[in-house]
A and B are shown apart, each in its own frame.
Chain A
Amino acid sequence: KNQVEQSPQSLIILEGKNCTLQCNYTVSPFSNLRWYKQDTGRGPVSLTIMTFSENTKSNGRYTATLDADTKQSSLHITASQLSDSASYICVVSSHNAGNMLTFGGGTRLMVKP
């Protein structure tokens, strides 16, 4: 069964600090992995996409990594800001019929001043 597990479920950090969110998946065959950011009361918005051949990709203060061998991805946030407070959702796409998407449960991040 395809699964995506995210950790931690929730995280509180101080403004200016760094943090790393984890995503482990058992989806097969793997197509790509996306990280979405969901602000409270809003819909998710894509931050970055990782394909099989990519190890690291940055989007501003966000850096995603992918290890296709261990089926793990991480999202590192540098110099956190209050606006980073949100849920971060890992979504893995599979190369099967319909290009099925499997969603993780998300990590809820709170950045405090």
Chain B
Amino acid sequence: ETGVTQTPRHLVMGMTNKKSLKCEQHLGHNAMYWYKQSAKKPLELMFVYNFKEQTENNSVPSRFSPECPNSSHLFLHLHTLQPEDSALYLCASSQEQGIKTGELFFGEGSRLTVL
């Protein structure tokens, strides 16, 4: 148990569906991240929120839409995805982004399959 909870753990969706991934952290951290992990590739940073403000959008297609209502919750809204978007989506948190980034605490991930 890392203190970062992701739901759902598995998701299968069609290309025209709308779904959301949820992440919640109980560590009192101020930075939250979405990463994409595809087979045999390094983790790819998608979005960063620091003190609820989006500080990075790593050229992610608009079919992925993040939302951070507070420092403890992070969502990734999914719409009209493509089969190549199938991957493990990892949420992480850290003390802050920047000089105090420190250790990343990851959730268990949401395995997404797009049909």
Residues of A participating in the B interface, judged by any CB pair closer than 8 Å: 4, 9, 34, 36, 41-46, 49, 89, 91, 93, 98-99, 101, 103-106
Sample of 27 A–B contacts (CB below 8 Å): A9-B40, A34-B103, A41-B108, A41-B109, A42-B108, A42-B109, A43-B2, A43-B90, A43-B92, A43-B106, A43-B107, A43-B109, A45-B2, A45-B106, A46-B104, A89-B43, A98-B55, A98-B97, A99-B97, A99-B98, A99-B101, A101-B45, A101-B101, A103-B42, A103-B43, A105-B41, A106-B42
- Distance of B83 from chain A, by nearest CB (Å): 21
**Interface residues on chain B, size class:** 20 to 34
- Nearest opposing residue in chain A for B10, CB measure: A41
Chain B interface mostly helix, strand, loop or mixed? Answer: loop
| Docked-complex contact B103 and A46, CB < 8 angstroms | yes
- Distance of B19 from chain A, by nearest CB (Å): 20
Docked pose: A103 CA to B104 CA in angstroms: 12
